[in-house]
Amino acid sequence: MFTVADQIAQILKDCGVEVMFSQSLPSRLILACEDIGIRQVVYRTENAGGAAADGYARTANKIGVVCAQNGPAATLLVPPLAEAFKASTPVIALVQEVERSNTDRNAFQELDHPALFSSCTKWCATVRERSRVEDYLRQAVIRATSGRPGPVALMLPADLLLEEAVAPSPWQSPTLGRFPLDRPVASPQDIETAATLLAQAEHPVVIAGGGVHGSGAIAELAALQETASLPVGTTTMGKGAADERHPLSIGTVGNAMGAYSIGQFTKPMIQRADVVLLIGTRTNQNGTDSWSLLPPGAKVIHLDIDGVEVGRNYASLRLVGDAKPTLAALTAALSVAGLGKRTDQRPALEQEIAGHWQARDAAVEGRINSTATPIRPERIMRDVAAAVGDRPVCYVADASYASVWITTYLAARHPGARFLTPRGIAGLGWGLPMAIGAQLARPDDPVVCVVGDGGFGHVWSEVETLMREKLPIILIVLNNGTLGFQRDAEMVKFARHTDAVHFGQVDHSKVAEAVGCKGLRVSDPARLEPEIRSCLQSGEPALIDVVTDRDAYPPLAAFEPLLEERRAAQKG
């Protein structure tokens, strides 16, 4: 008998779903998916499963699917769905619901799932009639991938999955599961106005956010930068959207523009800007250094697929549309508006930017080449970059300091380089699961994941997942025995910190070895690059536990200079 479960599985396959993140339930649906070749990747916790679906979707530019049981399992999907909601990632959560005849009778693990998911999804619903299954699945896919992408949750009663169904209609296609589903273009009149502003500006600057990756607008951003001779910076989420070796790249911008960052030197270029083009960014707190980055007198042009975000924090010329076609139209309009001024200013601009990079390199040289032990994170990033070289790679980091270390000290060596960081709501523990999703999406490219020991402690169990799935991820644990960001933020705010920021000693290489994964513990900086290089060449999963300087912190502008002053006072 062709059941509703079979029907859902077929719809998912027709929408291009090849991988699902699951753990047994809804069992009938998972069996149906397995029967038609949809790969089941079994997570150890729902929190990690949702994050893996997020990492997969961001990297593959297609929907990520995660399944869960009703009740307690469903509640553990809330954090990763909230991250996907804020980060604009299309994830579909398929959650088993109690049998329909038992609704509102205190059935085992019954919960009000729509209420649970209402704050962290674009849409959530319960399918109760077999005649509506196709409608609801279609809505779920379309809502997840259209407009500003995001997560949806669909509740599936266990008894409904067993009912006989009809074969799906032929509306499904693999393109339906990809995003963006539609590509609206901003108003031609507004594009022309924006082109005129950029062409005539004295000091224009472009800031690209994660929406450039989501739109797949990498080539269009590169064409705009090159054709119009515009300096381009990226937010943390946008890291990799522009080639940082391009002579007009000003690096990562936002809250990490303190000492020893490229932002320390390029920040004045933003603060003198008279026209700022924002692309695919929510203008959130971290991306704007608490909304202090843009100069008050600058004219802001804001391009985003979500009209609600355009002008949310800055009065802007509104370009509401998909980044890919709108940037292409803007570049064409700039050619018509005239690029003489931009072309004339380019040699001096390139020279200025090159000077900033040279100044950054000189400032940080002692740290990236440090031979001190415990090892400085800047040195770790240097050795990661040296081991990886120019090969295509996907870098992934956990939240907190790990995200800032990779986006500050690992360069985007080509347009479209991927740096996955959970910056939607920045929860700890999502680095490794997102790396699992990314590796499944890009099986031929190396994935290097950098996590702190605090974040990694949330998901030790998922090392077994990457071993079972034979995913050759290189996991680098920055082991300093502390929640570094929390400790330092408390010092800045209160001139002291709580005792709830330190851990006991853990050799994480033994955690890896316990599940059959190669585990290394490195305390000598001279060993680090050769070990990373060897692990990459092996094509096998590996965990490198790096004994890291506890006092090191990345260049967060908000911590300067108070953190050093208060540390000194505490020691004195």
pLDDT digits (tens, 9 = 90+) for 402-457: 999 999 999 999 999 999 999 999 999 999 999 999 999 999 999 999 999 999 99
Quote the pLDDT of residue 24: 83
pLDDT in tens, 390-400: 999 999 999 99
Statement: residue 223 has pLDDT above 60: yes
| CA distances (Å), origin 544, targets 50, 137, 374, 430 | 25, 42, 14, 18
Q: Give the distance, in angstroms, between the CA of residue 214 and the centroid of all CA atoms in the same chain.
A: 10
- Amino acid 166: pLDDT: 80
pLDDT at 546 over 80: yes
- The chain-wide mean pLDDT, for the chain, equals 96
pLDDT above 70 coverage of the chain, percent: 99
Under 8 Å between Cβ of 535 and 474: yes
- What pLDDT score does 103 carry? 86
DSSP conformation class of 167: P
pLDDT interval class at 172 (50, 70, 90): low
Q: 3-class secondary structure for 528-555? A: HHHHHHHHHHHCCCEEEEEEECCCCCCC
d(CA 470, CA 547): 26
Does residue 472 have a pLDDT over 70? yes
Weakest-pLDDT range from 93-107, 201-215, 517-531: 93-107
Structure confidence at residue 570 (pLDDT): 84
157/490 Cα distance (integer angstroms): 46
Residues in the chain: 572
In this structure, of 106-110, 121-125, 233-237, 278-282, the range with the lowest mean pLDDT score is: 106-110
The per-residue pLDDT for 171 is 56
Could you tell me the pTM of the whole model?
0.97
pLDDT at 169 over 80: no
Q: Is residue 572 over pLDDT 80?
A: no
Q: Quick check: 568 pLDDT over 90?
A: no
Provide the percentage of residues in the chain whose pLDDT is more than 90.
93
Q: What is the pLDDT of residue 494?
A: 95
Kindly list the strands in the beta sheet with 299-304, ordered across the sheet, starting from the edge strand earlier in the chain: 249-252, 232-234, 204-208, 275-279, 299-304, 316-320
Q: Which helix (H) or strand (E) holds 267?
A: helix 263-271
Q: Residue 420: its pLDDT value, please? A: 97
pLDDT tens string 93-148: 999 999 999 889 998 898 999 999 999 999 999 999 999 999 999 999 999 999 99
For residue 344, pLDDT beyond 90? yes
- Rounded-to-integer distance, Cα 90 and Cα 65, Å: 9
Q: Quick one: pLDDT at residue 467? A: 97
Per-residue confidence (pLDDT) for residue 365, from 0 to 100? 97
Exposure of 200 by Cβ count < 10 A (0-12 exposed, 13-18 middle, 19+ buried)? middle
pLDDT of residue 569: 86
Nearest to 453 by CA among 472, 474, 433, 428: 428
Query: What pLDDT does residue 176 have?
Result: 81
pLDDT bucket at 204, cuts 50 / 70 / 90: very high
